Amino acid sequence: EAGVAQSPRYKIIEKRQSVAFWCNPISGHATLYWYQQILGQGPKLLIQFQNNGVVDDSQLPKDRFSAERLKGVDSTLKIQPAKLEDSAVYLCASSLRQGGDTQYFGPGTRLTVL
């Protein structure tokens, strides 16, 4: 079974630029999550999708971050414009269903904002 795929693995941009991350969850997984992990901290949930609907985006900085999962499969997370404090690893995870207890994580995208 293929795992959660993410791209790119690394991205370096300058502040005020835009960046987008892509995630392909495990086939058949209805729930998709985006997390931000700042160095030395645990992951923090940014947004959770159930199929193509948003379940929780309470910690998403909506003035600069946006995410979509148009067909209920792949998802894209965008930052526009980026700030220095956005430097982090962005992790995508999926679970079989909303109540599914185990989340499967992708390798992450390491973003550096200069």
Partner 1 sequence: SQQGEEDPQALSIQEGENATMNCSYKTSINNLQWYRQNSGRGLVHLILIRSNEREKHSGRLRVTLDTSKKSSSLLITASRAADTASYFCATRPSTGGGNKLTFGTGTQLKVEL
Task: Please report, for residues 3, 13, 41, the alpha-carbon distance to residue 66 in angstroms, rounded to integers and kept in the order given.
Answer: 24, 18, 22
Q: Of residues 32, 88, 91, 111, which one binds partner 1 by CB under 8 A?
A: 91
| In the complex, least distance from residue 74 CB atom to partner 1, rounded to whole angstroms | 17
Only one of the segments 18-26, 42-50, 69-77, 80-88 lies at the binding site for partner 1 (rule: CB under 8 A); that segment is: 42-50
Only one of the segments 11-19, 50-58, 69-77, 80-88 lies at the binding site for partner 1 (rule: CB under 8 A); that segment is: 50-58
| In the complex, least distance from residue 14 CB atom to partner 1, rounded to whole angstroms | 23
Residue 45 lies near partner 1 (rule: CB under 8 A)? yes
For residue 106, what are the contacts with CB-CB under 8 A and spacing of at least 6? Answer: 3, 4, 5, 6, 23, 91, 92, 93
- The total of other beta-carbon atoms located within 10 Å of residue 49's CB is 23
Please tell me the distance from the alpha carbon of residue 45 to that of residue 91, in angstroms, as a whole number.
9
- Which residues contact partner 1 (rule: CB under 8 A)? 4, 31, 40-45, 48, 50, 55-56, 91, 93, 95, 98-108, 110
